[in-house]
Chain A
Amino acid sequence: EVQLVQSGAELKKPGESLRISCQGSGYTFRNYWIGWVRQMPGKGLEWMGIIYPDDSYTRYSPSFQGQVTISADKTSSIAYLQWSSLKASDSAMYYCVRRDGSGWDFYFAYWGQGTLVTVSS
């Protein structure tokens, strides 16, 4: 069974750093792209970026380029999303997703349970 299990909720202060994780299991982790999605309180889904764990090739949404870092450890089957200096506006739920499909048809059949990040002084 394919599963994406994310790390637990975080409460951080502005300016602090943070790394959250997404552990994949039930499939060959390195062969599937993993994406990250942000959902601010009461708002819609926002695409952040995606990584191919086998070679760590990463593409960021222009809105998040330079704001976060996406990485992956293919030997441990874990993808990461990290911030070097959090802001209050980073408070949101973050989901990891596995990209499936091919050619012109891509979709996200598997989602992590979400990690709630709260940034408050």
Chain B
Amino acid sequence: SSELTQDPAVSVALGQTIRITCQGDNLGGYSVSWYHQKPGQAPVLVMFGDKNRPSGIPDRFSGSRSGNTASLTITGAQAEDEADYYCNSQDSSSGQYVFGTGTKVTVL
């Protein structure tokens, strides 16, 4: 079965830089999108097409991809960036959508 693996939890000091990774053996040609979810809220799209920010998302968020690993970087993390982050893509063989295992980001 297809899987997207993320580190369970990462912490960052206020104003510092954090990188969250998403690794999937079957990523193939499909791009990766990223979502953050704060407690009690629906997820929100923060990155699509590997590296494109939706309107309204601060430019401290950036995305990249190298082979089977995608990354979301927050440069100058703010307290409001504390959330769970999930990647999403499609399995190259089945075409099924899959979410990553999720990363809990804590801003200290």
- Contact surface of A with B, Cβ cutoff 8 Å: 35, 37, 44-47, 50, 59, 61-62, 95, 100-101, 104-109, 111-114
A-B contact count (CB 8 A): 65
Chain B contacts for A111, CB-based, 8 A: 42-44
A selection of 21 A-B contacts at a CB cut-off of 8 Å is A44-B84, A44-B100, A44-B101, A44-B102, A45-B37, A45-B43, A45-B86, A45-B88, A45-B99, A45-B102, A47-B97, A61-B97, A62-B1, A62-B96, A101-B48, A107-B31, A109-B45, A109-B48, A112-B42, A113-B42, A114-B42
Q: What CA separation (Å) do A62 and B35 show in the bound complex?
A: 23
Cβ distance B32 to chain A, nearest Cβ, rounded Å = 9
Known A62-B1, A111-B42, A112-B42; contact A101-B99, beta-carbon cutoff 8 A = no
Cβ distance A17 to chain B, nearest Cβ, rounded Å = 25
| Contact yes or no, B49 A107, CB < 8 A | yes
Chain A contacts for B1, CB-based, 8 A: 62
Chain A contacts for B35, CB-based, 8 A: 45, 108
Known A44-B86, A62-B96, A112-B42; contact A105-B101, beta-carbon cutoff 8 A = no
In the complex, per-residue mask of B59-89: 1 if CB is within 8 Å of any chain A CB, else 0: 0000000000000000000000000101010
